[in-house]
Amino acid sequence: MTVREVAAELGVSVPTLYRRLKAEGIDIKGLRDGDTGSLTAEGASIIAALFSGSGDDKAVRDIIGGASQGVAHDTACDDTALQVEAAVLRVKLEAAEGEAGRLRAEVDSLKAERDRLLTLLEGEQRQRVQLLEDGNQRRRGWFGWFRRGRGTD
């Protein structure tokens, strides 16, 4: 509903309606829907309640009833939209669970590969240590007789 429609139902002018809202300290922006800019059902009810003592209570009831019907229609549309959104989210959840399972399997295979590589690395390190220890022994060769004379043997 628009402000003009509510004013017409109540039998007042739009400026009168705005003046009454201002006098009551109500901001019209808080009564409007952010997406459409039209009055929400609650906003229309608040405006109608401000004019309930003006004599035409039938108009006030009509505004409140119309707002309630709009809410019922919006609720039905919202219900369908929510069901569709829930179905989409279920599919996304199943896909995410499948991806999580695949990633867990990949993590397990990477851990096994890491363990295998660590084992190979430890073996390589043992071989290097053994080779280094073997290299520290004295070698006898062509010039070995020079070392004998100096007492390094």
Report whether pLDDT(142) > 50: yes
Q: Report pLDDT digits (tens) over 95-137.
A: 889 999 999 999 999 999 999 999 999 999 999 988 887 765 6
Do the Cβ atoms of 41 and 66 come closer than 8 Å?
A: no
**Number of folded domains that form the chain:** 1
- In angstroms, the CA 13 to CA 3 distance is 10
Q: Report pLDDT digits (tens) over 8-48.
A: 888 888 898 888 888 888 888 878 877 787 887 777 777 77
Amino acid at 93: L
- In angstroms, the CA 68 to CA 116 distance is 69
Report whether pLDDT(143) > 70: no
Please indicate, yes or no, if residue 50 is contained in any of the structural domains: yes
Please indicate, yes or no, if residue 77 is contained in any of the structural domains: yes
* pLDDT confidence of residue 54: 46
47: nearest Cα among 79, 77, 81, 9: 9
Please indicate, yes or no, if residue 141 is contained in any of the structural domains: no
* pLDDT confidence of residue 150: 54
Q: Which residue range forms the structural domain that includes residue 108?
A: 3-133
Of 60-74, 81-95, 98-112, the poorest mean pLDDT is in 60-74
